[in-house]
Structure 1
Amino acid sequence: MMIEQKEAVIFDLDGTMTDSMWIWEEIDQDFFRQQGLPMPEHLHEEIEGMSFTETAQYFIRKYQLSKNVEEVKELWNRIALDKYIHETTLKPGLDEFLQLLKKQHIKIGIATSNSRLLLDAFLDARNLTGCIDAITTSCDVNKGKPEPDVYLKTAEKLAVSPQHCLVFEDIPMGILAGKRAGMTVCAVEDDYSALLRAEKYRLADYYITDYRQVLDHTYEDLRGFK
């Protein structure tokens, strides 16, 4: 069983716990339109894995924005907040999986590149705050994904050694971060990263399209193909 001998499960947020990546497509389009700039063709490949702060710094530097980091982050938070509260949905089977983890006394953490404001709003709106044992954003550590910092910090907060942690991630940079932290990683299907599916298969230990596959043991075990 995937969670056998695991003491903690750590989730990424966007694309992993919730279908939310479409929000950032809309926000970026609006943002660049407001700045009078064309939408870059490969923007999301360039910023994949960056923390909220690192992304703001990247935008300011590359597009010579007159705003400072906090102003850019505040703008993104303001535009996205209502969407995270009312329009994002849980990944299929996640609620049942969280209940199983609680029943088996397996600790639950979140390690996200998103802002703490949006994460807290998302959790509060779905009554999930009480079931999360530790939260770290990439802004809380020195470097964002694919560096392992955010996962190692979350494991430290949970008081669980990395080898006893199972990570769920939806993009290659996040999978790399979990692997570099010395953790087992399950890749999660997401429409946003569909073109990266082969890379996700190459990097991850397991693969799911629905969290109920963990419960009924129908997930894909990729370890024998490495």
Structure 2
Amino acid sequence: MDKKFCIFDMDGTLVDSMPIWKSLGKDYLEARGHQPTQAQLAAMGPMTMLEGAAFLMETFGVEGPPERIIGEMHAVMETHYRTDIPLKPGIQDYLEGLKRQGTRMCVATATAEPLARACLERLGVAHYFDFILSCETVGKGKTQPDVYLEAARRMGSVPEDTAVFEDALYAAQTAKEAGFYTVGVPEAAYGQDWPALAALADETILDWRKAL
């Protein structure tokens, strides 16, 4: 595909933050005396922060309001985004190559926009993207296509002319069903889903350093 428009997931695709995100809900609950099951933790995976906070309140009786819970989790993640979460190896060169080709790029992420921007600015790659769009802004997680459709609209593109880069199978499925060209990226946190993602995707990138 001639990639004139690209939508990038951030966590696990551009930056190596998934180990921290994967343990956030568990660490948060255990610090408050709860022992979540693997099924409960898996259920939280596709949720936005707001959906996750509501889930914690309903399932574990964590004291709300949701905004307080989100604030506490954001504080933990903000420290990591501002200090130690790294880029995936080779991603900066890949983005630079697309930029030279005149590709328009944006980020569509479940992470709140201020946190995503803080991370990408620290890593020196924020300038490659026209904008950062959060699922929180559109009010739907990536089990729904809203964030991809809004990102394409803002770039002036349509799904069939737009590549979506994702490491999560459920997110890639959503993009694919909405008509986007999907690019699968392996992420250790979703290792069990890689065969299905590789089969679903129109293209796979095993190593950013060898992608261009």
Query: Which string of whole-angstrom CA distances, capped at 9 and with x for unpartnered residues, describes residues 86-120 of structure 1?
Result: 22111121101110111111101111111122201
AA partner of residue 135 (structure 1): I
Identity %: 29
Q: Secondary structure at the match of 1:83?
A: helix
Shift of 1:166: 0.5
Report matched runs for 1:177-196 at 5 Å.
177-196=174-193
Q: Secondary structure at the match of 2:144?
A: coil
Distance 1:146 1:46 in 2: 12
Extract structure 1 runs of 4+ deviating beyond 6 A.
none
Counterpart of 1:141 in structure 2 is: 138
Equivalent of 2:78, from 62, 75, 81? Answer: 81
Structure 2 gap ranges (5+): none
Bigger shift: 25-34 or 129-138?
25-34
Is structure 2 residue 86 aligned with structure 1 residue 109? no
Distance 2:124 2:28 in 1: 31
- 1:8/1:166 contact within 8 Å kept: yes
AA partner of residue 151 (structure 1): Y
- 2:22/2:189 contact within 8 Å kept: no
Equivalent of 1:59, from 44, 56, 76? Answer: 56
AA partner of residue 138 (structure 1): C
Query: Which string of whole-angstrom CA distances, capped at 9 and with x for unpartnered residues, describes residues 157-190 of structure 1?
Result: 1111111111110011110121122111111011
Number of matched pairs: 212
Equivalent of 1:175, from 172, 176, 190? Answer: 172
- TM-score, scaled to structure 2: 0.93
Query: Which string of whole-angstrom CA distances, capped at 9 and with x for unpartnered residues, describes residues 42-95 of structure 1?
Result: 344212322222222222222221121111111111011121122211112110
Distance 1:140 1:29 in 2: 25
Counterpart of 1:128 in structure 2 is: 125
Counterpart of 2:154 in structure 1 is: 157
Counterpart of 1:28 in structure 2 is: 25
Equivalent of 2:67, from 70, 83, 89? Answer: 70
- TM-score, scaled to structure 1: 0.88
Q: Secondary structure at the match of 1:186?
A: strand
Counterpart of 1:202 in structure 2 is: 199
- 1:9/1:109 contact within 8 Å kept: yes
